[in-house]
């Protein structure tokens, strides 16, 4: 069944799938929720470098919570992957509802649908809005696909609690991402690796 489908070009025509592509953030190159294999290699998968040690993979939503990672051989040779990434981000903004929740340690979390929480890192407007509301830079960790937590810089003393919370989510989850801490700068509106002194 898998083999047959790879040759059904129709299934992969860009104009057919363009509206159903989303960006997924990856630290560890593994994914258990996709239908086409859990290991992800840059040998056959377009990876887009992101902040720190994170990458973006693009996935196609095949309906009913079924996702397929876009591999090189699914794309025409002249496909502009950056452009596809922007399309994927636009689809994300259009289709996924992100809600800000409060966490037990006094920080915040992002709630979506269990597939796209970490994708929120690609969605600059969310972070700009949070930073403006909190009137501060943000410290962010995305330990797993379905977990993103953050704090305003002024609550930095809660960072150890946030890190512990993130560590538990990381250990509990098969789709691990990273325990790296990021800083979203309110002024520059950009995500960088946060260096703890």
For residue range 50-96, list pLDDT tens digits in order. Answer: 999 999 999 999 988 899 999 988 888 788 999 999 999 999 999 99
For residue range 173-182, list pLDDT tens digits in order. Answer: 999 999 999 9
pLDDT band at 9 (very low <50, low <70, confident <90, very high): low
Cβ(191)–Cβ(184) under 8 Å? yes
Q: List the structure tokens of 98.
A: 């992100």
Closest CA to 146 of 121, 99, 101, 110: 110
pLDDT at 134 over 70: yes
pLDDT at 138 over 80: yes
pLDDT at 7 over 70: no
33-54 mean pLDDT: 91
pLDDT band at 14 (very low <50, low <70, confident <90, very high): confident
For residue range 145-161, list pLDDT tens digits in order. Answer: 999 999 999 999 999 99
Backbone CA torsion sign across 147, 151, 153, 157: negative
Alpha helices, H only, the chain: 2-6, 9-12, 14-17, 81-95, 124-134, 159-172
pLDDT at 4 over 50: no
């Amino acid at each position: 069944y898998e083999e047959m489908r790879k040759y059904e070009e129709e299934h992969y025509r860009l104009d057919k799938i363009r509206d159903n592509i989303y960006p997924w953030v990856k630290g560890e190159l593994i994914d258990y929720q996709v239908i086409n294999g859990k290991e992800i290699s840059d040998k056959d998968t377009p990876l887009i470098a992101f902040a720190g040690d994170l990458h973006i993979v693009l996935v196609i939503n095949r309906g009913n919570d079924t996702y397929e990672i876009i591999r090189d051989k699914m794309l025409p040779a002249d496909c502009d992957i950056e452009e596809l990434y922007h399309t994927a981000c636009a689809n994300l903004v259009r289709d996924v509802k992100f809600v800000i929740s409060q966490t037990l340690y006094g920080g915040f979390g992002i709630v979506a649908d269990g597939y796209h929480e970490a994708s929120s890192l690609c969605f600059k407007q969310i972070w700009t809005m949070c930073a403006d509301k909190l009137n501060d830079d943000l410290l962010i960790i995305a330990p797993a696909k379905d977990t993103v937590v953050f704090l305003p810089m002024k609550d930095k003393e809660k960072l150890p609690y946030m890190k512990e919370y993130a560590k538990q989510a990381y250990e509990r989850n098969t789709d691990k991402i990273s325990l790296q801490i990021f800083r979203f700068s309110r002024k520059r509106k950009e995500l960088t690796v946060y260096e703890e002194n």
